[in-house]
Amino acid sequence: MQVQEIHIFTTDTAGCLRAIETQSELMLKATRVDGVYSDDPEINPEAKFYPVLSFDEAISKNLKVMDATALTLARDHKLPINVFNVSREHALKDIICGDHIGTIIS
């Protein structure tokens, strides 16, 4: 019997891989909320917002912002991630101009 290997990659993992390949300085993760929270803020209004996180914190707290493979790839390649609300007006311009919006994971 032959065993078939199955590899599953999320869009977050693919995005991290591409950012690493292109030697990007920052990966942008657009979401429906303002950044990374302790819980889903759309369900739990008491969820704590994290303006800054380390990769290890995001992984160990199981914050579900991205899959662990993507976070580990970014951590191992020192690729910071900016998680932000895609619906925020001028979000990309503000990030490019150096404004801190959302959550920075590094």
Domain boundaries, position 34: 29-105
Instruction: Using pLDDT thresholds of 50, 70 and 90, give the confidence band for residue 1.
Output: low
Any domain includes 1 = no
Read off the pLDDT of each residue in 69-98 and give the average, rounded to a whole number: 96
Does a structural domain hold residue 89?
A: yes
Q: How confident is the model at residue 11 (pLDDT cuts 50, 70, 90)?
A: very high
CATH number of domain containing 38: 3.40.1160.10
Q: How much is the pLDDT for 64? A: 86
* Residue 22 within any structural domain of the chain: no
Checking if the pLDDT of 7 tops 80, the result is: no
Distance of CA 15 to the CA centre of its chain: 10
Residues 56 and 71: their CA atoms lie apart, in Å, by: 9
Instruction: Establish if 14 belongs to a structural domain.
Output: no
Q: Has residue 82 been placed in a domain?
A: yes
Average pLDDT, integer, range 78-98: 96
The reply to whether 38 falls in a domain is: yes
Please tell me the total count of domains within the chain. Answer: 1
The pTM (predicted TM-score) of the whole model is 0.88
Distance CA 63, CA 96 (A): 26
Parallel, antiparallel or unpaired: strands 103-105 and 81-85: antiparallel
pLDDT in tens, 31-44: 999 999 999 999 99
